[in-house]
Amino acid sequence: MKKTELTLRVENVSASFQNGKESVQILKDVSFEVPRGKMLAIVGESGCGKSVTVHSIMQLLPKNGHIDSGKVFFNDGENEVDLFSMTKFSKKMRAIRGGKIGMVFQDPMASLNPTHRIGKQVAENLIEHYKMPKKEAMKRVIDLFKRLGIPDPEQRVKDYPHQFSGGMRQRVMIAISMICNPDLLIADEPTTALDVTIQAQIMDLMKELQEKYNKSIILITHNMGLVAEVADHVAVMYMGRIVEYGTVSDILNHPSHPYTKSLLQSVPVMGLDKNRKLATIRGTTPNPKYYTGGCEFADRCGFAMESCKSTTISNVNLTDNHKVRCLLFENSKEVVAK
């Protein structure tokens, strides 16, 4: 694939958090690509590092978070930039954040300013990134509010965040992320607090952004039904690693990593229930602090061999775009063929 066809290339990103005197590695060699005009879903149990992955890309880790290594290349169709070569608060990084890359955060309340009117907070992005006159920016905000199903938008833009319900605030966050027509939209559980009809309406808008304007999307979700319906590619994460990556059909119809298989267990792929959540897997996610080496999933894996606990596991290409990080595939061609 030509470079310009990829909006984002994430290469071997590792990150850790400092907890007191102790440093715990949270992301391990995370690599993936987002082709232009496509949607990548990132799935995996709670705590596996989905949010930390996208916060790292945007250089928005909290103070105790640190990117240890890796590169992230962002391409808007004309220029490719290395995001990690820019400092967190540099002009260039700020122009990308909110302008060319929009983000919906998992916690909508944390990112709205309680003392500013809602409309102003959404319009700010247009004024800052496109130098748009205030009146025109507000017209755009009202129009987007309408499309996001916010009733009476002309009045509601004058409200403050506390006057909005949780679901409404989430829609405002989505408006902030989409208002500049970003080349890449990162949506971290964007529709969890919303009812099914609104969820569908918002996913339709995201699909429109993607298909009509050829934009790229990273969607983080626990909803496998949604993944089946809207995603093009899927990255499956477990304890800070991408253990499997492929097209939505590779992952749903030919899951290879034992972890992916467990996640999908009892989820009939065809006619997947729209609101089906990821299955629960026996055992609990181990604390990354106590990691001792080898495959992170070995303790919970029904196929684990003794060597899984001590060997460094590499990524195996099953087909052109389907990759799995599992010793079963590294060692045995028969297993690859199954």
Ligand X SMILES: Nc1ncnc2c1ncn2[C@@H]1O[C@H](COP(=O)(O)OP(=O)(O)OP(=O)(O)O)[C@@H](O)[C@H]1O
Please name the residues in contact with 119: beta carbons below 8 A apart, sequence gap of 6 or more: 138, 141, 142, 156, 157, 158
Secondary structure (H, E, C), 285-330: CCCHHHCCCCCCCHHHCCCCCHHHHCCCCCCEEEECCEEECCHHHH
Q: How many of the other CB atoms lie within 10 Å of CB of 188?
A: 21
40, amino acid identity: L
Minimum distance between the CB of residue 106 and Mg ion, rounded to whole angstroms?
A: 5
Q: Which residues bind ligand X (CB under 6 A)?
A: 17, 19, 26, 44, 46-52, 62, 64, 106, 288
For ligand X, the closer CB: 190 or 288: 288
Q: How many helices (H) and strands (E) does the chain have?
A: 12, 12
Minimum distance between the CB of residue 73 and ligand X, rounded to whole angstroms?
A: 22
For Mg ion, the closer CB: 106 or 216: 106
Which of ligand X, Mg ion, none has residue 64 at its interface (CB below 5 to 8 Å by kind)?
Answer: ligand X
Site for Mg ion in 86-145 (CB under 5 A): 106
Residue nearest to Mg ion (CB): 51
- Which of 325, 322, 301 has its CA nearest to residue 311? 325
Which of ligand X, Mg ion, none has residue 52 at its interface (CB below 5 to 8 Å by kind)?
Answer: ligand X
Tell me how far apart the terminal alpha carbons of the chain are, to the nearest angstrom.
28
Q: Which of 7, 51, 53, 223: binder of Mg ion (CB under 5 A)?
A: 51
127 by Cβ neighbours in 10 Å (0-12 / 13-18 / 19+) ranks as middle
Contact 151, 66 (CB under 8 A): no
Q: In angstroms, rounded to a whole number, what is the distance separating the alpha carbons of residues 270 and 14?
A: 36
Asked if residue 262 binds Mg ion (CB under 5 A), the reply is: no
For Mg ion, the closer CB: 51 or 75: 51
For ligand X, the closer CB: 62 or 302: 62
Asked if residue 170 binds Mg ion (CB under 5 A), the reply is: no
The number of residues that bind Mg ion (CB under 5 A) is 2
For Mg ion, the closer CB: 59 or 221: 221
Which of Mg ion, ligand X, none has residue 46 at its interface (CB below 5 to 8 Å by kind)?
Answer: ligand X
In three-state secondary structure terms, 87 is coil
Minimum distance between the CB of residue 291 and ligand X, rounded to whole angstroms?
A: 11
Asked if residue 75 binds Mg ion (CB under 5 A), the reply is: no
| CB hemisphere CA count around 133 (13 angstroms) | 2
Which of ligand X, Mg ion, none has residue 119 at its interface (CB below 5 to 8 Å by kind)?
Answer: none
Minimum distance between the CB of residue 217 and Mg ion, rounded to whole angstroms?
A: 16
For ligand X, the closer CB: 288 or 294: 288
For Mg ion, the closer CB: 51 or 125: 51
Minimum distance between the CB of residue 52 and Mg ion, rounded to whole angstroms?
A: 8
Q: In angstroms, rounded to a whole number, what is the distance separating the alpha carbons of residues 32 and 13?
A: 10
Minimum distance between the CB of residue 49 and Mg ion, rounded to whole angstroms?
A: 8
The binding site for Mg ion (CB under 5 A) comprises 51, 106
